[in-house]
Structure 1
């Protein structure tokens, strides 16, 4: 039933209004159609405005003729906010959230890359100094320097991840701004 109405709305021309009839059968079934109801218990004529925009008024109606205004069917009020602006605001809000989410993912990826780089640096130091007992002190010093450097970088990465996650959490908590 609803799908018929939606199909009719989608198939209609976006710039003009058209008549729609709401028919109630004797058994209480309700149907919507473009032609008047025959044999129905009740009939209600509806003016459907595609896309939520009112139909354009003719120039004679704009002149202020009270008889024409009294005979004209009531025009549905336009939506409070422009549909295009709402869609654009939702798109922009999602884009902002995606940017924050991407910052979190980038920080996590950087941390994972540093773990792999640390392992590669340790392997290179072992390769450079080898198993020679004479180089054991040099190897130990190189490994200590590698650990110091990567410990500091790990703290920076974890701080960056926490900040990005906090920014995303705060953004999710903030209400969406109304569109004017």
Structure 2
């Protein structure tokens, strides 16, 4: 099975092969891992990935899923391979102050800018890791980095203000 997923502003291609209660997953044709899954009850799964256990609650809303993993919530859109899809991003007419917020809970892996840097729309400003996937956050318009409110290696919650651009 092939799927395209959207997590935050990042898109991934997943290839999943099912073997009984085990799934072999390949992300973007590169990262591979196996997942042992047990359905505990409707919308509640127990996953074993490597040596780590995850309790996952999934709420389905027509290709949009709210996935709670060990208390952290992620919003994920899932599309079958080849289906039309749209990713809503910041508008091109953004004026004034832009606030880059964490779209999901995770860990800041890398800050790609420093205060005073000039950025163009679409330039990556930070990378957050969530659910073993890296998500690059991008500027939604041209501007100057005014504030960086987070450090590399720190955990963030959904909605936390990370970077301010003017």
Question: TM-score when scaled to structure 1?
Answer: 0.19
Give the structure with higher Rg (CA).
Answer: 1
More strand by share: 2
More helix by share: 1
Question: TM-score when scaled to structure 2?
Answer: 0.20
